[in-house]
C-alpha cells in the first residue's frame, strides 16, 4: 500500500500538468482575424404572402479574442422571396458576439447572437417601396478543422425580421422570421 500512494500521487500530478498544458495551448495564440463565407437555404415564415424558400449568401469577417470568444460581422443577401401579390428582396449587415467551445482538436461548436441592420425592397399589390430596419438574431453551429487555418462549418440562424410597408397603409407591419440553414468555410489568419 505504501508503494501505491506515491505512484497514484505522481500519476495525478502528471495528469494535472498535462491537462493544464493542454488548456494553456487552447487559450494561447488563438486570437486573430478570420474571413469566411456561407451559402444556404432560407425559409421565410410569415402570416402573409411573403412565405417562401430561397437561397442566401453571406460574407463574414471576425476577430477571435481567444479560443472561446469572437466578434463577428457579416453582409447577407437573403435574395428574393414571396409570391405574385407580395414579394420582397432583403440585404443586411450584422454584428455579433460568438462563443466557441472546442470539443476535439478538429471539432468545435459555437453559438452567436447579435443585431441585423437590413434593407428590404418590396412590391405589395403593385405598390413598391423600401424599408430600413434592425432586428435581433441568434444562431448555432459546428466547425470542422480541415487544416490549422481552414475550417468548414454548418449552422442554423434565426432572424426576427419585420417589414414596415408604410406607403401601403398606415398599419402595414408584416411580421416575418428568417430561418437560415447554411454551410460555409472560414479562414483564420
What span, in angstroms and rounded, lies between the C-alpha atoms of 82 and 78?
Answer: 12
Are 9 and 38 within one domain? no
Are 125 and 44 within one domain? yes
- Domain range for 179: 31-188
Q: Given a cut of 80, is residue 163 above it in pLDDT?
A: no
| Number of CB atoms found within 10 A of residue 12's CB | 10
pLDDT, average across residues 169-189: 82
What span, in angstroms and rounded, lies between the C-alpha atoms of 179 and 139?
Answer: 10
For residue 174, the SS3 value is strand
Per-residue pLDDT tens for 42-71? 988 766 656 677 899 999 999 999 989 999
What is the CATH classification number for the domain harbouring 93?
Answer: 2.40.160.20
pLDDT, average across residues 31-50: 85
Which of 14-18, 28-32, 127-131, 135-139 is predicted with the least confidence, judged by mean pLDDT? 14-18
Amino acid at each position: 500500500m505504501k508503494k501505491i500512494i506515491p505512484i497514484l500521487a505522481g500519476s495525478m500530478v502528471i495528469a494535472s500538468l498535462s491537462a493544464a498544458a493542454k488548456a494553456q495551448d487552447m487559450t494561447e495564440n488563438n486570437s486573430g482575424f478570420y474571413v469566411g463565407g456561407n451559402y444556404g437555404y432560407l425559409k421565410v415564415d410569415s402570416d402573409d404572402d411573403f412565405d417562401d424558400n430561397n437561397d442566401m449568401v453571406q460574407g463574414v469577417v471576425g476577430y477571435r479574442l481567444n479560443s472561446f470568444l469572437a466578434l463577428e460581422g457579416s453582409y447577407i443577401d437573403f435574395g428574393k422571396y414571396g409570391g405574385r401579390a407580395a414579394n420582397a428582396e432583403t440585404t443586411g449587415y450584422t454584428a455579433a458576439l460568438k462563443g466557441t467551445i472546442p470539443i476535439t482538436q478538429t471539432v468545435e461548436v459555437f453559438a452567436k447572437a447579435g443585431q441585423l441592420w437590413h434593407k428590404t425592397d418590396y412590391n405589395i399589390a403593385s405598390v413598391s417601396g423600401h424599408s430600413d430596419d434592425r432586428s435581433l438574431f441568434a444562431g448555432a453551429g459546428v466547425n470542422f478543422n480541415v487544416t490549422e487555418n481552414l475550417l468548414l462549418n454548418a449552422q442554423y440562424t434565426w432572424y426576427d425580421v419585420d417589414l414596415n410597408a408604410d406607403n401601403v397603409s398606415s398599419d402595414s407591419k408584416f411580421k416575418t422570421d428568417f430561418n437560415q440553414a447554411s454551410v460555409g468555410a472560414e479562414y483564420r489568419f
